[in-house]
Structure 1
């Protein structure tokens, strides 16, 4: 199977149906086009390619199996991933890609099986919500030279991540038109919300920092990205999620933080700091984090309080 599939701008399937001798690359492309996120399309395509390459088979042969053969093949593949020591989250993502493709093929009449009985690895959600405290993050911000264009940008970027507990994808997608300095708001496109946007309020310091970045950059076209590269050759290109990750990682290392830091670790830090500042008011902090379930905030709060450590100290003192 080739990796240079045409995934975009394909004709609507009912105008150009898959022939009886199935064009399996077309089936794969049509399935990938049902995924709204370009990142998801890229990752899922790679996952399917790895699956077929690792087992030495082709897409058509796989989807033409009966349900018993398909279950055996995918279960064996899962076992090989476990043996290789891949993380549970990675294994589950690869299985999710395979199961999604199979479900699509089944509903289109290209295969005769589903894979509901193939189970993923059990995960402990939000086991580690640790990050850094506000004083440590102040040190990160204080170490940025705001006399340079890169420094002005990085300061605004990190302050936005901290003050609003945003995900890096939400920052990457933001354009200048989404920023309203008068209303002190930013329109974001959150995780799992497709084209549906939401408005978040910004702190005064964050608004000032973003305005300083736009002024230093000299760009006010509303269609341009809010945060862009300042490197020669990539200047004015929208910052991708990996670039945002690298900025966070590098700035935290420069501040002497030995813990591996990422945009999501800053998000953890912000949520934990918000719970500390509000005395554990999970309902208020839920508005900041935008978690759909209040139970997720309770996990953060429990980790913050370290009830397990308190009980361990109590038992330790009894003997």
Structure 2
């Protein structure tokens, strides 16, 4: 007699047993443990800068409303509140920030961080509400001014390229000016992201998960190459493209804060009255392109990589506002 039916019966029985097995047998530790919602939220963010901002803003909320920094238990207690009570807490927090004189942008950013925490709590099944708290109205005008193109070029030319620091700073300024890069886009660059033979750079844009390739002017390619040759040392592909050169931190990756301090120092040394930062450098470059193209926002978009043209329109509106101010100045004394 054939034994095949017995084998089939065993297979079917094994499948039935597997389907009947309780999931908790294998995932009990995961299911029974209370989730650390804040840490899970932060891990879901790709950018280190975004993680720092969320941690800072959520910590501010718990410090102000409970007198203590956020802990797993206090976060879960907040997320387990009834919806109307949670809305009341966040509304009071909004009023506290407003009375403290914080800017609308700062208040709105902190409210957004709290709402993100709540939304993530809903995803994890530890929260069943959403707070309906309005943001603070923000004026559409924002200061997108930087320095003039002439001032910027003078600062670039002022770099002492006979020194290692001067070679690095020269290359940094060219990226800030010629490609309008953000400081985090520069600080996250490794050697493998620079292709001198093709004249390209692979950058991780704001809020992006994958890198995009941009083209570099020849002068920038030469400047980066000169900096790397002068720096020497370990040239493995995972090494940072830009590093510190001071005695204490030599060879370590140049952080966004480090780039900010370099920019501030160079422009102050050159006598530029405007308080300059890497982002104001970006503003300066975008405004200069709009000036040279007679307000062509689409060409400016190619440089800035802004997704929305409306953002570039703000730059152009502010540029025209400066023009009107100068025109009025010329008319001083006339009726």
TM-score bracket relative to the smaller structure: 0.7 to 0.9
* Equivalent residue, structure 1, for 2:75: 59
* Equivalent residue, structure 2, for 1:30: 40
Cα distance between partner residues in 1 of 2:325 and 2:195: 44
The reply on whether 1:103 has 2:112 as its aligned counterpart is no
Query: Which TM-score applies when normalising by structure 1?
Result: 0.87
Q: Which of 225, 250, 268 in structure 1 is aligned with 2:265?
A: 250
* Equivalent residue, structure 1, for 2:212: 198
* Equivalent residue, structure 2, for 1:218: 232
Contact 2:180 2:303 in 1 (8 A): yes
Kindly name which structure, 1 or 2, has the bigger radius of gyration based on alpha carbons.
2
Q: How many aligned positions are there?
A: 301
* Equivalent residue, structure 2, for 1:49: 59
Give 1:197 deviation, angstroms: 1.0
Q: Secondary structure at the match of 1:251?
A: helix
Contact 1:143 1:254 in 2 (8 A): no
Contact 1:225 1:238 in 2 (8 A): yes
What do the CA deviations read for 1:23-64 (whole angstroms, capped 9, x no partner)?
36x222222211111222222122222211211173232122
Give 1:260 deviation, angstroms: 0.9
Contact 2:193 2:203 in 1 (8 A): yes
Two-structure CA RMSD over aligned residues (Å): 2.3
Q: Which of 169, 178, 184 in structure 2 is aligned with 1:154?
A: 169
Q: Which ranges in structure 1 are unaligned for 5 or more consecutive residues?
A: 1-13
Give 1:316 deviation, angstroms: 8.8
* Equivalent residue, structure 2, for 1:276: 291
Change (3 A) 1:224 1:124: farther
Give 1:233 deviation, angstroms: 2.8
Query: Which TM-score applies when normalising by structure 2?
Result: 0.83
Structure 1, 276-285 or 222-231: larger mean CA deviation: 276-285
Contact 2:37 2:75 in 1 (8 A): no
Q: After superposition, where does 1:238-317 map in structure 2 within 5 Å?
A: 238-306=253-321, 309=325
Give 1:126 deviation, angstroms: 5.8
Q: After superposition, where does 1:64-103 map in structure 2 within 5 Å?
A: 64-103=80-119
Give 1:86 deviation, angstroms: 1.3
Cα distance between partner residues in 1 of 2:332 and 2:91: 45
Structure 1, 63-72 or 215-224: larger mean CA deviation: 215-224
* Equivalent residue, structure 2, for 1:227: 242
Contact 2:165 2:245 in 1 (8 A): yes
Change (3 A) 1:309 1:110: same
Question: Which consecutive segments of 4 or more residues in structure 1 shift more than 6 A?
Answer: 310-318
Change (3 A) 1:125 1:264: farther
Q: Which of 11, 30, 38 in structure 2 is aligned with 1:17?
A: 30
Give 1:279 deviation, angstroms: 2.4
Q: Secondary structure at the match of 2:213?
A: strand
Give 1:15 deviation, angstroms: 7.5
Give 1:312 deviation, angstroms: 6.6
Cα distance between partner residues in 2 of 1:77 and 1:276: 43
Give 1:97 deviation, angstroms: 1.2
Change (3 A) 1:294 1:317: farther
Give 1:17 deviation, angstroms: 2.5
